[in-house]
Amino acid sequence: MGDGNPIISMHGIVKKFGGVVALNDVDLAAYPGEVLAIVGDNGAGKSTLIKILTGVYQPTEGRIELDQKPFEMSNHSDAIENGIDAVYQNLAIADHLTPAENLFLGAELTKSFAGIELLDNKTMKEQAIRVLKDRLGVQLKSMDVPTESLSGGQRQAVAIARAVRHDDLRVLVMDEPTAALGPQETARTLDLIKTLKTQGLAVIVISHSLDDVFEISDRIHVQRRGQCAGVVKTAETTNEEVLGMIVGTKTAA
Ligand SMILES: Nc1ncnc2c1ncn2[C@@H]1O[C@H](COP(=O)(O)OP(=O)(O)O)[C@@H](O)[C@H]1O
Ligand SMILES: [Mg+2]
């Protein structure tokens, strides 16, 4: 945890939206086999930070390194091509499509039949079953249902499977993965995150729930008013200390 070299690191990141300074001189590093939590009040810059990390936004200043080499992204596809992906809060899932259709949305597998390109639904379904089972330990009762008929936790698994179906995925970012879930579904999603960590992924999780953060993370990055208020090892801190850093009454030791 935190040993060895980071997969990806951000250095002195500044992001301005017009006159608004959303991020001011922020550093962040993500290591393989580690869960890094990002916490902070609304408007602290959490989402902006991970949008820069996943190529959605470009920083106003600062630099990013991948495997300790300079790394620039023009868009989110650049991130995906380099093994970095995200699962967003609103679960970018199409409700009326099946789990397999969601996994391959925009990247459908095709086969040629009599010179015509056809969707290869069979292979997509087989691969979806395999990714859900082998990577996430999830088996759905039926794959031939609209994703909206699944439970919140299963839908979350489909959203995560969409990212992890790329074998070269190395960094997975999740923005509030448990925000819309009940207690049981939350527990399942936290288990999924632990599973991904044991597979060697760097997992970055934004969360409002300090209970969740203390259950799954190895380190906690506290954002406050656009700046990093400190990074602490989860095993060496307390709920109270982290809360103090979030509201600004405590600084990291
Ligand atoms: N696209 C945008 N345009 C203008 N201001 C933005 C934009 N995105 C975020 N901001 C501002 O940047 C700051 C940080 O926002 P955000 O990263 O969403 O915080 P968090 O995710 O921690 O709630 C806020 O003041 C927010 O209003
Ligand atoms: Mg946010």
Q: How far apart are CA 246 and CA 208, in angstroms?
A: 11
Q: What is the 3-state secondary structure (H, E, C) of the chain?
A: CCCCCCCEEEEEEEEEECCEEEEEEEEEEECCCEEEEEECCCCCCHHHHHHHHCCCCCCCEEEEEECCEECCCCCHHHHHHCCEEEECCCCCCCCCCCHHHHHCCCCCCEEEECCEEEECHHHHHHHHHHHHHHHHCCCCCCCCCCHHHCCHHHHHHHHHHHHHCCCCCCEEEEECCCCCCCHHHHHHHHHHHHHHHHCCCEEEEECCCHHHHHHHCCEEEEEECCEEEEEEEHHHCCHHHHHHHHHCCCCCC
Please give the number of the atom of ligand 1 that sits closest to the Cα of 15: 12
Domains observed in the chain: 1-83+170-253 (3.40.50.300), 95-169 (no CATH)
Atom 11, ligand 1: residue with shortest CA distance: 22
**What is the pTM assigned to this prediction?**
0.92
In tens digits, the chain (253 residues) has pLDDT values of 445 899 999 999 999 999 999 999 999 999 999 999 999 999 999 999 999 999 999 999 999 999 999 999 999 999 999 999 998 765 578 889 999 999 998 889 999 988 999 999 999 999 999 999 998 999 999 999 999 999 888 988 999 999 899 889 999 999 998 887 889 889 989 999 999 999 999 999 999 999 999 999 999 999 999 999 999 999 999 999 999 999 998 766 5
Ligand 1 binding residues, C-beta < 6 A: 17, 20, 22, 40, 42-48, 223
The closest-lying atom of ligand 1 relative to the alpha carbon of residue 45 is 17
Among candidate residues 61, 43, 42, the one with its CA nearest the CA of residue 52:
61
**Which residue, judged by its Cα, is nearest atom 16 of ligand 1?**
45
Nearest ligand 1 atom to the CA of 44 is 22
Identify the residue whose C-alpha is closest to ligand 1 atom 5.
17
